[in-house]
Chains A and B, each alone.
Chain A
Amino acid sequence: MNGGHEETLDTIALLALGALPADKGRDLAGHARDCAECRAEYTKLRVAADAVAFSAELRVGELDELSSARLKARVMNAVRANGAAVPGPASSGQAITAAAAAPRLLRSRTAWIPYVLAAAAVVIAILTSVNFAALRSQRDRYEQQVAELQSQFYLQSARESVTVRQLAALTAPGSKHFAVPSGDIVTSGGHVYLALRLTQPAPGKVYQAWTLRAGAKAVTPSVTFAPEPGGIAFVELPESAKGLAAVAVSVEPVGGSKAPTSTPAFVRSLS
């Protein structure tokens, strides 16, 4: 095995862990499909990577009883409201039996009537069953759509909770605000936030943040982002505020750059 491929196998570990950017992950997954050695390594390491999730599993009783009951009630109520199974309609066999038990008194005079009624009942039962099945299928589809919408609603709700937490960080005692032409850079609790009002970048372009650590000679690429449709960009940088000397933002091609390729919109010292 050559050194180059050994490095690829190291990168396979990142793919298994989910720590590769999406584009690099796709490229490597393409390679792994054709390379037995990489595929085998990926399979081995995915077991371990998947297992990491289990370390977050709460122990029994770790989630307090009240919260646990409330959460379960929320989920189960939503599910019950979204299409639990219901008993089906009376079977066509039952319908036939009911029809066959019909007017015995007439049988002597018009013996054919029960047969006609029975036949009609069969037809009605079949039509009803078909119609019921179609309605049930339609109802299931609607219920699944409602459940999907509810799922999206709760995700949105979760996002808002995160936003509230970030807003709390912005206004926390000890937070520092550094004004820039388009908004503020805020450091709070060791985190760095950009709260900016920006124009939408041209197609194929995004904004990219850059950080300069104290004593460093060159900036380091940070996250890429685009403002919300209203022009607001609220971004938490992954870098720690500790030891950060300056933050800059420039417009870069989608995917980001390793070094700024355009004049920064601003460069702000954090001292």
Chain B
Amino acid sequence: MVGVRERDVAAFEAIYDSYHRLVYGIALKMLQDTMAAEDLTQAVFLKVWSAPDTFAGGNFAAWISRVARNRALDMLRSRSLRAEGEMPLDVPLDEALHDTVFAMIDGDCVRNALANLPDEQRQPIELGFFGGITHEEIARRTETPLGTVKTRIRAGLRKLRSALETSVVR
């Protein structure tokens, strides 16, 4: 990002090449529309170019995926005004593992880890993350008691983290 702050197009292009499949993939999964996903991808990368200082440090991949998700949520919300949650961009994470994990994982690694979760845990996690809906709506859609949804999401995230740690150590 240092190069981008200095208005270096080559530095920006390297970032684009590394992360466009992630940003576009998130946009496509959430919006289910290729044109909208392309527009959102362009919007996110132009934001990176026009306001590089909004990245305050930490893991860039995690940051840009939160930006992409929040923008997609904005878009979904603008159509239905749902009151979904947003992933905070400014919550400090003082754990070195966060960076280590993100430096070493890729899409296949996470897909495998998610696939190994029981459906009852994976489904509410994916609905919450990509569907942009609250736990109450997840409970309604899956016809599961609210407390059970919470417990399953927590258990699923703990297993996911454990699986990712294992794959990083390996």
Contacts and interface: CB of A to CB of B under 8 A. Distances in A.
A47 B129 contact: no
B164 A47 contact: yes
A56 B22 contact: yes
Interface of A is mostly: helix
Interface residues of B, number: 97
B85 A58 contact: no
Contacts of A7: 147, 150
Nearest to A86: B7
A62 B20 CA distance: 12
Contact of A78 (B13, B42, B85, B132): B42
Given A20-B135, A165-B33, A238 B128 contact: no
Contacts of A50: 62, 65-66, 87, 98, 102
B106 A51 contact: no
A46 B43 contact: no
Interface string B97-127: 1100110011111110110000000000110
Contacts, number: 296
Interface string A49-67: 1111111111110110001
Contacts of B50: 82, 143-148, 150-151
A57 B43 contact: no
A257 interface: no
A48 interface: yes
Contacts of A220: 140
Contact of B26 (A49, A53, A72, A235): A53
A57 B150 contact: no
Contact of B86 (A25, A79, A143): A25
Interface of B: 6-9, 12-13, 16, 20-22, 24-29, 31-47, 49-51, 61-62, 65-66, 68-69, 71, 74-76, 78-88, 91, 93-95, 97-98, 101-102, 105-111, 113-114, 125-126, 128-130, 132-135, 137-138, 140-141, 147, 150-151, 153-154, 157-158, 160-161, 164
